[in-house]
Amino acid sequence: MRDGIEAAKQGLPALALVTDAFWPQGDFVAKSFGMPNLPRLQLPHPIAGTGQARMQAVAEDLVDDMIKALSA
């Protein structure tokens, strides 16, 4: 979220990828840093440590939504 916020503040297209377990924290951070509407996509949790094959599958599931969000 912080990376996305910093990118957005610099005028760059930004999309935060947040797992469902961290979704409430994402909301909290977005509001705290004054960007409550920062675009974000929800990922299944966990992602870290689940292996390259699963990360590849998650990425393939989300890539169209990512492109769409960043093109909006």
Partner 1 sequence: MTDKLFAESEAAALEQLHAQGLTDGLPVVIPTDERVARMVLATGQAAELTLGDMGPAGGSATIEKIAVAAVMAGCLPDHMPVVIAAIEAIINPAFDLTEMQATTHCTAPLILVNGPARAACGGIASGFGALGPGFRANASIGRAVRLAMMNIGGARPGVSDMALLGHPGKFSYCLAEDEASSPFEPLHVSRGFNAKTVW
The set of residues, in sequence order, having a beta carbon less than 8 Å from that of 33 and lying 6+ positions away, is: 1, 2, 5
Amino acid identity, position 72: A
Contacting residue, 13, 20, 24, 61, with partner 1 by CB under 8 A: 24
Per rule CB under 8 A, is residue 32 in the interface with partner 1?
A: yes
Which residues within the stretch 38-57 sit at the binding site for partner 1 (CB under 8 A)? none
Please, what is the minimum distance in Å from the beta carbon of residue 66 to partner 1? 24
- Residues contributing to the site for partner 1 (CB under 8 A): 22, 24-25, 28-29, 32-33
